Structure 1
């Protein structure tokens, strides 16, 4: 069997590498070779732990070469289901020790092994093992000794592990596997009519699936469901700037935690629609986090004020409004009113553009717009959010039209004047004098344009001044 031959070759490589400095490892490798020849399948290797012990012994030496060889062999054993589940705790302890080594190759091998564990039958099922496996990824992500390459790998590994965990939750709780396909996402560059047509085509099936998901709400969680819930709670705490008690991690970048949360919200809708415990976390913890992060009445400092974090907040809010407004009516009403209010505030241009993109997405999605109108505008107890959204967008469009109507003729006149003045002054007084005169004219014109901009927008529009044209 090819797998058995590869293992024997790896054991010989370990024996050769350990010959001089680690005679105990050499002897154990030779003993494992003899033992391996008496076995015929991965299942027999799993029942006999001598082979696994050999590779763990090579890792325990903490030599870079032996650790790389040992971890590579561990990956092969796990991939071929040649490891019993009772050995997982010992393997995770070994991986935790290797995560603290400074060698980049060893760190990469450690992360690869973690991911293979999640993809195999050895997938952690206890809270301790799951927390330890995920904690290794987060510690490598936040370690000051990790290179950028290792951090990126740790982030990708953690994200894939989270996806596998929630896939298992969906399977264990017997929920429909609904994931938002790329074709259903709204493109920034496509035409509105195309977006509307695509949305109408997609909306009917999505609507029926969501309604059926809400019809069978479950209160009791399986063991796998409880693991996913603990992870969701810790991710929410980390995104809020707190610590993760279950994962035993003091802090990670809030942007990273929020990115993972946004991924879960957008891809695992049935979990929140069908499981009461998940719905409560979404309602009381996730929505509270997003409401706090959406505040614009105070000066936001640090990571929460960066464009990347604000973009993730707005995307998460959009997912909640789009996918969960049927049972999060009050929360979605607050979110929508806040978004509409932002369009009138004196905020950075990038922030207003992000909000407008979210509102545009609602307007071209037939199902979302209909749900919002039914839940809010047609309910006398709720705010007319669709009406207010249309009014806000109309106000912005009319403001832009007025601004262009006022400033464009002035801009063309000033440009013509500058060109004429420059040409005449170059001929009469020389290039340097002409340049000085034109700069003075541009400065005066910029001041006039700024006044017109204030009249139209109510605040400075430095991005439209002549110095940046």
Structure 2
């Protein structure tokens, strides 16, 4: 009945309120019914009405939190929660939905926001369960590296006429949320993702290159700062990378990149006048 009301654009705000009550007051909604409830909220999030849109976004955030709270409260029943982040990741990557069946639209910005929230609020779930650890290594990390690509390739002021394909420009909302996800992955899951974190840190350092847009460099500095204020994490970088013969000298590269970035801020551009 709720699904039919959604498809007919009837009582949309009350629909969202009803879904939230159903999911927060009991645990009888799970599996396919839970999937449809989440899809219902997502689809209402992409309506043209701003009030419905914003209410649905808030409802989606609450529903995602509720599902993971179930995992914490009742550890032996966590199938729905395993399906949920995998489904969100798939939608960010524009894959065909396999659990959130009925999804017609999804933005990377909203998907990355949800992913960051789940990773930041429920790290123990991903660390304690092999299924979630597998999702991090095999689904989330490749997605993050893929989204890094246009930001790494883009060079400010360069022309793309000689290249076979135009280089996609960095998009601030995606970059900002992407770097937040990377920060959470490194801070919360470094012990699980040592190899992946080496890649993330190397890519993050490249964001400080002089040929990158200034706003992108500033966002990268903020992300690096979140990591550098944790002495234990810096010690791990040195032990896992810099002190090993064939590993990337991550800590050294971070220091050098920050030094170059700071120096560039004090350079006065030449005006050509004497």
TM > 0.5 fold call: yes
Are 1:131 and 2:38 an aligned pair?
no
In the other structure, the counterpart of 2:203 is 338
Distance in 2 between residues matched to 1:386 and 1:348, nearest whole Å: 23
Are 1:448 and 2:272 an aligned pair?
yes
**Matched ranges for 1:411-426 at <5 A:** none
CA deviation string 1:54-95 (max 9, x = no partner):
xxxxxxxxxxxxxxxxxxxxxxxxxxxxxxxxxxxxxxxx21
In the alignment, structure 2 segments of 5+ residues that lack a partner are 155-166
- Following superposition, the deviation at residue 345 of structure 1 comes to 4.7
In the other structure, the counterpart of 2:128 is 274
Distance in 2 between residues matched to 1:372 and 1:326, nearest whole Å: 11
- Given candidates 108, 115, 122, the residue that maps to 2:20 is 115
In the other structure, the counterpart of 2:159 is none
- Following superposition, the deviation at residue 123 of structure 1 comes to 4.3
**Matched ranges for 1:42-441 at <5 A:** 94-103=1-10, 106-125=11-30, 127-143=31-47, 146-173=48-75, 222=76, 224-248=77-101, 249-295=103-149, 296-297=152-153, 299-300=167-168, 305-401=170-266, 403-404=267-268
- Following superposition, the deviation at residue 332 of structure 1 comes to 0.4
Distance in 2 between residues matched to 1:252 and 1:390, nearest whole Å: 38
- Following superposition, the deviation at residue 118 of structure 1 comes to 1.0
- Following superposition, the deviation at residue 325 of structure 1 comes to 1.3
Distance in 2 between residues matched to 1:157 and 1:123, nearest whole Å: 18
Distance in 1 between residues matched to 2:134 and 2:205, nearest whole Å: 26
Distance in 1 between residues matched to 2:140 and 2:183, nearest whole Å: 13
- Following superposition, the deviation at residue 319 of structure 1 comes to 0.9
Distance in 2 between residues matched to 1:120 and 1:369, nearest whole Å: 43
CA deviation string 1:19-70 (max 9, x = no partner):
xxxxxxxxxxxxxxxxxxxxxxxxxxxxxxxxxxxxxxxxxxxxxxxxxxxx
Distance in 2 between residues matched to 1:256 and 1:400, nearest whole Å: 33
In the alignment, structure 1 segments of 5+ residues that lack a partner are 1-93, 174-221, 408-445, 453-469
Query: Which TM-score applies when normalising by structure 2?
Result: 0.88
- Following superposition, the deviation at residue 347 of structure 1 comes to 1.8
**How many matched pairs?**
259
Cα-Cα RMSD: 1.9
Higher-Rg member (1/2): 1
Contact 2:43 2:105 in 1 (8 A): no
Report the secondary structure of 2:153's partner residue: coil
Relative contact order: is structure 1 or structure 2 higher (C-alpha 8 Å, sep ≥ 6)?
Answer: 2
More helix by share: 1
